[in-house]
Amino acid sequence: MDNTAIYRIPYGLYYLGTSNGAKQNICVVNTVAQVTDTPQRISVTVLKTNLTCEMITASGTFSAAILDIDSTLEDVAHFGQQSGRSTDKLTGMDIQNDTLGNPLYIQNCAAALSAAVVQKIDLGTHMLFIGEVKDASVLSDKTPLTYAEYRARKSGKTSSVQTEEQKATYQCSICHYVYDGDIPFEELPDDYVCPICKKPKSVFVKM
Amino acid sequence: MDNTAIYRIPYGLYYLGTSNGAKQNICVVNTVAQVTDTPQRISVTVLKTNLTCEMITASGTFSAAILDIDSTLEDVAHFGQQSGRSTDKLTGMDIQNDTLGNPLYIQNCAAALSAAVVQKIDLGTHMLFIGEVKDASVLSDKTPLTYAEYRARKSGKTSSVQTEEQKATYQCSICHYVYDGDIPFEELPDDYVCPICKKPKSVFVKM
């Protein structure tokens, strides 16, 4: 069994906002998903030792803002790589409040959801919360950020899993322009055209 | 409340394989996610009226193959847009079996997972199965397909949420090459260079 196979599952990234009245906190998770449509319910899985798990358990609500492609590594590091136990991550940041009293950080976010917990499933190391969506808004029409894209940016690579060594080179058979984009040629849209002679992707040949 | 906000959550696509001994079936879902790492557990949410829900409940196991970027619309339609109740979707397809007896269709898949159900949570319209991963393999190093990319391809668009009207035009300030790719310029990697004069993305100006 290859223990790395499970890491190929794609995810988004979310600012998970919680409040226990006295304290507010936001962390970054990749574990938000829709589970039902009628009513609209979302699930979120949180490590039981995290402050966020305690706070959702106490308040019974949470907010989840969907990061978009323009999110900065700095913002993700600020909310994702510090513990709310030792730091007030909200101080000095542009924070809003949702209708349930949870903090929301919506910079470079595609949408925001607020949910009330209706089920709590103990998974050992993690707690799975099922929340009924009580408020929701679309914030931009930008593409949501995927966890793979974030990891790739962080490591200075593109979102392709391929390495330079594995990356094949393609050349336009008409004008001999060699594709040198950072997105693997195989992943370009079908209607990609040669930037030089404007011929279709189909005229490119693997070198 | 905007009921469309929830649809901005990114997902992958999966061939979900089930077997009740006599019958095998594969359907397409976008609801597979990792929930714990020790032990490795994944969740999958299935509509309770679907044959797949009956079969997972009966067998207590399922397989999930992670579709990659090269998956064809035809394959997704074959397994995703027909019911296993009326059609044997596996006939004539290149099907393998996992170690738990579930069918696997691994054409253009990045990885395959096989799981044994350890928890079953009734969510009203859907059933949420928690499965412990019993077998797993990486099948390719290609980028997993996202549901957004699949929907975009199906509608003949690129994966960008932006429409032509909203799409901004960018020109290289050095050689005046006008970017004409189908991937929105804002979404190109930071190390994208002008295909003509090889200057960095930063020299491009919005027209």
ipTM of the complex: 0.74
Which residue of A lies nearest to B128 if distances are taken between CA atoms? Answer: A35
Q: Say if residue B85's pLDDT is above 50.
A: yes
Residues with Cβ < 8 Å from A113, sequence gap 6 or more? Answer: A32, A42, A63, A64, A65, A66, A133, A135, A136, B5, B6
Mind listing the pLDDT tens digit for each residue in A76-91? 999 998 888 888 999 9
What percent of chain B clears pLDDT 70, i.e. is strictly above it? 94
Phi, psi of A53 (to 5 degrees): -65, -45
At A75 the three-state DSSP class reads helix
Flag whether residue B130 sits within 8 Å of chain A, measured between CB atoms.
Answer: yes
Rounded to whole angstroms, what are the CA distances from A98 to A24, A181, B136, B182?
12, 41, 40, 36
Instruction: Give B146-160 pLDDT, tens digit per residue.
Output: 998 998 888 876 543
Q: Which residues of A touch B185 (CB under 8 A)?
A: none
Ranking A50-54, A64-68, B102-106, B198-202 by mean pLDDT, the lowest is B198-202
Quick one: pLDDT band at residue A165, thresholds 50, 70, 90? very low
Q: How far is B172 from chain A (nearest CA, A)?
A: 13
Q: Inform me whether the pLDDT recorded for B10 exceeds 70.
A: yes
pLDDT tier at A65, thresholds 50, 70, 90: very high
Q: List the structure tokens of A78.
A: 């600020």
Peptide bond before residue B39 is cis, with ω within 30 degrees of 0: yes
Q: What is the pLDDT of residue A167?
A: 59
The residue among B150 and A155 whose pLDDT is bigger is B150
Choose from B3, B35, B120, B140 for mutation: most chain A CBs within 10 A.
Answer: B35
Do the chains contact at A182 and B189, CB–CB below 8 Å?
A: yes
Element (H, E) at A54: helix A51-59
Across the interface, of B1, B110, B186, the residue whose CB is closest to A136 is B1
> What contacts A62, CB < 8 A, 6 or more positions away?
A16, A17, A18, A44, A52, A56, A102, A114, A115, A117, A129, A131
> Does position B162 have pLDDT exceeding 60, yes or no?
no
- How confident is the model over A110-123, as pLDDT tens digits? 999 999 999 999 99
Contacts with A136 from chain B: Cβ below 8 Å = 1-3, 5-6
Structure tokens at A79: 């909310």
Q: Are A148 and B148 within 8 A, CB to CB? A: no
Asked if B32 and B43 touch (Cβ cutoff 8 Å), the reply is yes
Other C-beta atoms closer than 10 Å to the C-beta of B49 total 9
Residues A104 and A25: their CA atoms lie apart, in Å, by: 9
- Looking at residue A99, its amino acid is T
Tell me the average pLDDT of chain B: 88
> Hey, is the C-beta of B43 within 8 angstroms of any chain A C-beta?
yes
Q: Does A92 reach chain B within 8 Å, measured CB to CB?
A: no
Residue B70 in tokens:
């090269």
Residue A130 has pLDDT above 60, yes or no: yes
- Touching A: B residues 132-171, CB under 8 Å: 133-138, 141-144, 146, 148, 153, 158-162, 166
Top-confidence residue, A168 or B45: B45
Tell me which amino acid residue B65 is. Answer: A
CA B55 centroid distance within chain: 22
Residue B198 has pLDDT above 80, yes or no: no
- By DSSP bridging, strand B96-97 and strand B61-67 are unpaired
* Closest listed residue to residue B195, CA positions, set B176, B207, B205, B182: B176
Q: Over chain A, what is the mean pLDDT?
A: 89
Q: Do A5 and B188 touch (CB under 8 A)?
A: no
pLDDT at position B140, please? 93
Alpha helices in chain B (DSSP H): 51-59, 73-80, 147-154
Q: What is the pLDDT of residues B26-38, one digit of tens each?
A: 999 999 999 999 9
CB distance B143 to B69 below 8 Å? yes
Tokens of B149: 């990319």
pTM: 0.76
Amino acid A127: pLDDT: 97
Q: Please say if the pLDDT value at position A109 is more than 80.
A: yes
**Are the Cβ atoms of A128 and B188 closer than 8 angstroms?**
no
Q: Is B126 in Cβ contact with A10 (below 8 Å)?
A: no
pLDDT: is B131 or B82 the higher one?
Answer: B131
| Structure tokens that stand for A61 in this block | 């609500």
- pLDDT tens-digit readout, A169-194: 888 887 777 777 667 787 777 778 77
**B69 vs A37, A187, A193: nearest CB:** A187
What are the start-end ranges of the E strands in B48-183? 61-67, 96-97, 103-104, 109-122, 126-138, 170-172
Burial class (CB in 10 A: 0-12, 13-18, 19+), A127: buried
Identify any residues that bridge with A172 across adjacent strands, giving them in sequence order.
A204
Instruction: Report pLDDT for B191.
Output: 78
Return phi, psi of residue B152, to 5°.
Answer: -65, -45
- Asked if residue B77 has pLDDT above 80, the reply is yes
pLDDT at B163: 37
Question: Does B2 lie at the interface with A, CB-CB under 8 angstroms?
Answer: yes
